Structures are given as structure tokens and as C-alpha cells.
Amino acid sequence: MIKKSEVFPVGQITKTHGLKGELAFNTDNSILEEVEIPYIVLEPDGILVPFYIENVRFKSDSSGFIQLEGIATEEQARELVGQNIYLPNKYLSELDENDVHVEYFIGFQVFDETLGKIGTISEIDDNTENILFVVTSENNDFLIPAAEEYITEIDEENKILRMDLPEGLLDL
């Protein structure tokens, strides 16, 4: 069984395309175009399931069409519309730094260079111009900018994000 911690999001199925089960998708990175990946992971019925790729065609930098094995009709394809597209974490190294979704960091522990452990990223707040990590500790929730300039180290194996935060940021 695939766990959410073993995958990262790369896009979303947006609609069906044609009558033979092809799906339209959006993405904000180019990994599906640049790297030969045998399968994507979708989450029908709340369970992460691999779907093997028959064909991928891009129509722009951020959208394209994908044909999956076993999805041969418009009806079958319609059931997958709206699904997030995930890839196994082993493909993370293939992404450009700028292509990583901030949602990937949910569940990471956050350590500050000065203060030590702050807490665990529980969600992403993207309601403002600057994306924020919501970091939950035993006593508090902190809003920390998800800014590359504050990140000093990403330990993917142990799910640790080390940051050098400005003094007083957590007092706000």
C-alpha cells in the first residue's frame, strides 16, 4: 500500500479528452515531460493507486494529455477527473528546486538554527501573497514564510526542514 509520505504532488486531472479514456491535466513543473516515468499515482476512493502511463502529450508548459493503462473509455476517465497526480518520492531529485510543491513539506519537522525544534508543518496557508507553513507545536501554531531564503537544509529521508528564521518572527 502506498502512503502519502511516499509521494509528492505534481498536478491534477482536469477533464476527459476524447472518447478513448484520455485525460487532460495541469501541472506546474515539467517532470512528466522531461523524465521517463512508468506510472503516476492517483487517489480514487481515498486510496493511493498506481496507474501505468501509456502516453503523455504536452500542449503547453503547464498542461497536456495522458493515457493510462486500463482506462479506455470516457466513463472510466470521468471517474478520475479532479484527482491530484502524485509521483513516488524517488523522482524528487529530478525536479528543479523551483518545481517542488510546498504541500510536499506537510509532515516535516521544522528546526531553527537558533531556537532548535519549532514543531511540525501541519498545513499550508496560501491565502496571502506569501505562502506560509502552519507549524504546530505542543503549545502553539506558528505561521512561517515558505521562503527559500530561510531554508538552510532539507532532509527528505528524515522529513526535517532546517531554517534560519529572522529573530522575533515567532513572536508575531
172 residues of the chain, pLDDT tens digit each: 898 888 888 899 999 999 999 999 998 777 787 788 999 999 998 999 999 999 999 888 789 999 999 999 999 999 999 999 999 888 876 665 555 567 778 889 999 999 999 999 998 888 888 889 999 999 889 999 988 889 898 887 788 999 999 998 888 6
Domain ranges of the chain: 4-94, 103-164
Cell numbers placing 55 = 502516453
- Decide the pairing of beta strands 63-68 and 22-27: antiparallel
Query: Considering the domain 4-94 in this protein, what is its CATH number?
Result: 2.40.30.60
Which grid coordinates are listed for 79? Answer: 471517474
Architecture of domain 103-164: Roll (2.30)
88 within 8 A of 7, measured Cβ to Cβ = yes
